[in-house]
Amino acid sequence: MALHCLDLGISRFLQFSATLVLPGEADLEHLRGTAVELLKAWPSLQERVNLLSGRLSRGKEDVEEFWKSKMLITCSLNDVVPVTNGRVNNSKNFDDIFSFPTALQHPFCDAAGLYHIIEAYRSLLDGEPIKSINPRQPIELNDELPVREMRSREAGEPSDFAKFQEESIKVGWRAFGKVCIKQFLLNPKKFENSIRIPASRIGYLREKAEEGGIKVTSHDLLLACIYKSCAVSPTWRKVAKDGKEMPPFNIILNIKNLLKENTQLHNPFIGVNVPPPAITATSETEAILNLAAHMRSTIVNARSRDCLSRVLDKHQRFQGKPIGTRNLGSKFPTVFVSSWAHLPLFDLELQLSASKRARICYMEPDIAAAEIFRRAGCKKLANILETWKDGKGDFWVHGVLEKKVWSELNNYSIECV
């Protein structure tokens, strides 16, 4: 399957992974055998992406050899993920757990593609047949796109917003080299962490939004909490013009439902540069609600035909060259947020053995540099966050940020009663 322009966009030099933790003992031979069965049913899962040419090629090893690096393992919960700050549900006593580690080159697919792979694996474990993978299709917008719901003053008129997004895209190996230097050498010290934002906290903010007639989603509110926390970054405060100026901020926008054709495995998303907001508020809650409204306006404008046409046209014109957003790799807290909250991973129930079925009790995604860069010393990418929602409706945030930003974000981890 040939890669399309978005497969070779922001995701080109990245890989992503997810560690899925399930309680109980498992029949490892059955699980491994089913994994091999999946590889035979979907042979494209064995393909590799050449980062320079952007082409897919099949590895020479057979399916059993290919799967050795993806073995399912059993271990203690502490070996899988540190049990700190409520990262795992400790109300249950997991005497035995098993982890399902997955890692994919990002040009191959996005998080939704990973979900399709795990869902197919679940079907095979249950003895159900799976459909073949549809081939990738050229990126083409639907004839009808959503009508704009709202705009904010900071987002500007649709034509201005579209131009802003188009100009935010940087192309070429020179720009890519600057990103590598900033990411590898110039970033201040940052820390990896995961924080749970309780459903009660987001629910409280939604109630306040409804009372004020502000139409936002739960994830808009989560993004607002993250964005506001980034404003306390020490490195940003050194260059900010005043205490109200907000740092650069980017979100990953899924456009799958806006395309004419889709397949199970590809990357139907674009990076959206959030226009700098002018937030004036008299309270913490009001500031969050204003930022959430700004996020909603940004997303609505980004889904317009004018904006998407310009952004996709630039990706297609420069396909083959490194392409990314203007602020990628900045030493400032130029955060990029990728959401997995729409994926019902915690609803999947896997047949671990003849007598044991289990649902995921914890998951931790991670976006990293491609393997060649990790070998060169770039173990973790700074300022890239993943968000997801667990089986209880709580949101989680994982990534690498400055310590002060994590401390600020941790203020939203307190339950509302």
- Cα separation, 32 vs 38, in Å, equals 10
Is 307 part of a structural domain of the chain? yes
Q: Which pLDDT belongs to residue 370?
A: 85
Q: Scanning the structure block, which residue is given the tokens 């919960």?
A: 77
Tokens of 214: 């502000």
Is 29 part of a structural domain of the chain? no
Is 194 part of a structural domain of the chain? yes
Is 214 part of a structural domain of the chain? yes
Q: Which pLDDT belongs to residue 83?
A: 39
3-class DSSP assignment, residue 39: helix
**Residue 164 domain boundaries:** 158-343+366-413
Q: Which pLDDT belongs to residue 333?
A: 59
Q: Which pLDDT belongs to residue 89?
A: 45
Structurally, the chain folds into a number of domains equal to 1
Is 60 part of a structural domain of the chain? no
Is 244 part of a structural domain of the chain? yes
> Of 297, 207, 210, whose CA–CA distance to 251 is shortest?
297
Side-chain-side CA neighbours of residue 55 (13 Å): 4
Q: Scanning the structure block, which residue is given the tokens 């992406």?
A: 49
Identity of the amino acid at 376: A
What are the pLDDT tens digits along the chain (417 aa)? 688 999 988 888 899 888 888 887 788 888 888 888 998 898 888 887 877 777 777 665 565 555 555 545 455 555 555 433 444 444 344 556 666 667 888 998 999 999 999 999 999 999 999 999 888 888 999 887 765 545 555 555 666 899 999 988 888 877 777 777 766 665 667 889 999 999 999 999 999 999 999 999 999 999 999 999 999 999 888 888 887 889 999 999 999 999 998 888 999 999 999 998 977 778 999 999 999 999 999 999 999 999 999 999 999 998 878 887 776 655 565 788 999 999 999 998 999 888 889 998 888 899 988 887 877 777 778 888 999 999 899 999 999 999 999 999 999 999 987
Is 163 part of a structural domain of the chain? yes
Q: 10 Å Cβ neighbour count for 366?
A: 18
User: In this structure, is the dihedral angle defined by the CA atoms of residues 21, 265, 197 and 394, taken in order, positive or negative?
Assistant: negative
Regarding pTM above 0.75, the answer is yes
CATH number at residue 184: 3.30.559.10
> Of 140, 56, 153, whose CA–CA distance to 105 is shortest?
56
Is 35 part of a structural domain of the chain? no
Q: Give the DSSP letter string of 193-257.
A: EEEEE-HHHHHHHHHHHHHTT----HHHHHHHHHHHHHTT-HHHHHH-SSTTPPPPEEEEEE-GG
Q: Which pLDDT belongs to residue 33?
A: 87
Phi, psi of 298 (to 5 degrees): -60, -45
Identity of the amino acid at 193: N
DSSP 260: S
- Cα separation, 289 vs 83, in Å, equals 32
> Of 266, 398, 379, 410, whose CA–CA distance to 336 is shortest?
398
